[in-house]
């Protein structure tokens, strides 16, 4: 194995996009726990913006849509996105 300039943990859509962009200027190694690349496993949230996927040329089927989501950090701070009203 050759020396890596950067290591990316996770080969979901974001990890693969980052790897593609960084690989233009450096050596990248990606570590992924699952057998399929670019497909979030059931324990992941799967919250990926459809516009981001289109930019990457990825057209997966829409598994779920959400009316609202709440993201909470380890400090207990949270933000709620209510898609029925159009934003946070």
For the beta carbon of residue 53, count every other beta carbon within 10 angstroms: 16
Q: What is the pLDDT of residue 27?
A: 94
DSSP letters for 50-63: HHHHHHHT--PPP-
* Residuewise pLDDT in 10s, the chain (88 residues): 579 999 998 887 778 888 888 999 999 999 988 777 656 665 565 566 667 677 767 666 666 677 888 888 888 889 888 877 654 5
| 29: nearest Cα among 47, 5, 58 | 5
| Segment holding 6, helix H or strand E | strand 6-9
What is the pLDDT at residue 23? 93
The domains of the chain are located at 6-62
pLDDT of res. 5: 93
């Amino acid at each position: 194995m050759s020396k890596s300039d950067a290591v990316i943990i996770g080969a979901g859509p974001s990890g693969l996009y980052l790897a593609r962009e960084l690989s233009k200027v450096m050596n990248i190694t990606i570590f992924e726990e699952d057998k399929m690349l670019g497909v979030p496993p059931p324990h992941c949230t799967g919250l990926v913006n459809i516009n981001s996927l289109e930019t990457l040329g990825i057209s997966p089927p829409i598994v779920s849509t959400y009316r609202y989501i709440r993201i909470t950090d380890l400090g207990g701070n949270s933000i709620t996105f209510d898609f029925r009203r159009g934003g946070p």
